[in-house]
Chain A
């Protein structure tokens, strides 16, 4: 459908105007809608994540002294910039100062003041196989070509097995 005003652009907004005792419906393109003061962002809520990805892309250089890889999941800041997702909980420690800056920009604050969590004692938890966990870490270390770390993990695995 073309815009009722300029007859050129594609109509994306349907505007119902009530004037006196009459109603009229207008189909407007984004440009004409904006000129009439109609909020054009209404039809499609802007996905917040795009803004967030843009923020990390533009404003997140690695802080000095931070390791390149997370020792647990082998994730890097470059992975984070590309996906907007961190690899694991340990990434928060590995990239702590870069993330602190980012969190301040995104949330206006970097300190959690809500409920504090106290983890249950390990004896109260169901048994988790640490060998399988180490095997996963070993595979990731090899994939990321972190051979020194891989050798360490392999030694630990041998110790368990």
Chain B
């Protein structure tokens, strides 16, 4: 079984709730898509080519200075539940973990260290990503920019004079940059402002998704806001723009929360304490149910209606109450109903020990 404690930060430093606006913005992720010269792109490459890519980058990883104590995990050699575990921890994409309709690819791997990772043989040969707690775009970009410069000196990237960094899908070409912010917007959902906000995002060239990226459902009022365009603007412009828009969304969310408290204070308080009560005492919780109640409790903590509960605990509950994480803690794969019982127990015990 995969032991994530072997990773320098346990693969969980992004949960520590240290960044700016940590109660509203859970995390910031920036990724760069890069491909190597001399090979077909991953989806068209043969098994042998992908293995050679892996060998080539593995040598380069070993001498990287911007990543310390990195650990290479051969995703293609992992059991399905361990691949799901990495995905639930936001360390690999669904595609790399072979959780889409395609099976895991030969040569799929990930190199992980504190808050940074490099996926190998994803849709592109390399996907460099930095994952930070809270709203931390400049820091996350600084890390990834240094890593990219260093790695690009060790392996030759595919670059086109006019089109920039070349990618398997033309929606990523140019900078290859996708920055996304995982944000909790219950106030805008409850005040029914969310539709307008999301429609507005799409009009200004940004997009939103569920917590797990492309095609994933929005659960628990968690949204990922990211840039859609990757070409025709510099990295700095793309990031500045996202920062400005996300700041505005945060302000709208804070305003919605003030309105809720002002116009429906005791109703909100009742609803949110009920959510806390359910999580504190339920004996079986489906994932969706847990996410929705956790959303309520997170809102209550943000509104200071509930005190003595840290945002870090809430972040941990979000991640560790998922199927593969529960199974990992129990040491075996769980059926859905077993997971519901294990989830309720985990949430109950965590709240009993970590909520004052």
| A interface residues with partner B (beta carbon < 8 Å) | 16, 18, 21-23, 38-39, 41-45, 47-49, 52, 72-73, 75, 83-89, 92-93, 99-100, 102-103, 106-117, 119-120, 124-126, 128-129, 132-133, 136, 139-140
Contacts and interface: CB of A to CB of B under 8 A. Distances in A.
22 contacts: A18-B263, A45-B210, A45-B217, A47-B215, A48-B171, A49-B169, A49-B215, A73-B41, A73-B44, A75-B40, A85-B123, A86-B169, A87-B40, A88-B39, A88-B40, A89-B158, A92-B160, A110-B163, A111-B231, A126-B155, A128-B52, A140-B40
B49 interface: yes
Contacts of B235: 114-115
A22 B175 CA distance: 50
Interface of B: 35, 37-41, 43-46, 48-49, 52, 56, 59-60, 123, 152-160, 162-166, 168-171, 173-175, 177, 189-190, 192, 194-196, 198-199, 205, 207-210, 214-218, 228-235, 238, 260, 263-264, 267, 271
Contacts of A128: 38, 52, 56
Given A39-B195, A117-B157, A48 B232 contact: no
B46 A136 contact: yes
Contacts of A139: 46
Contact of A23 (B35, B170, B218, B271): B271
A132 B214 CA distance: 35
Contacts of A117: 152, 157, 159, 165
The 9 tightest CB contacts between A and B, nearest first, are A39-B195, A109-B232, A112-B164, A89-B158, A107-B231, A117-B159, A114-B175, A47-B215, A87-B44
A118 to B, nearest CB: 8
Given A109-B232, A113-B232, A120-B156, A43 B218 contact: yes
A89 B37 contact: yes
Contacts of A103: 163, 170, 173, 231
Contacts of A42: 189, 194-195, 198, 218
B56 A48 contact: no
Contacts of A73: 40-41, 44
A125 B36 CA distance: 12
A112 B175 contact: yes
Nearest to B166: A89
A83 B35 CA distance: 18
Contacts of B155: 125-126
A87 B41 contact: yes
A132 B52 contact: yes
Contact of B44 (A88, A111, A115, A133): A88
Contact of A86 (B41, B49, B159, B214): B41
A48 B170 contact: no
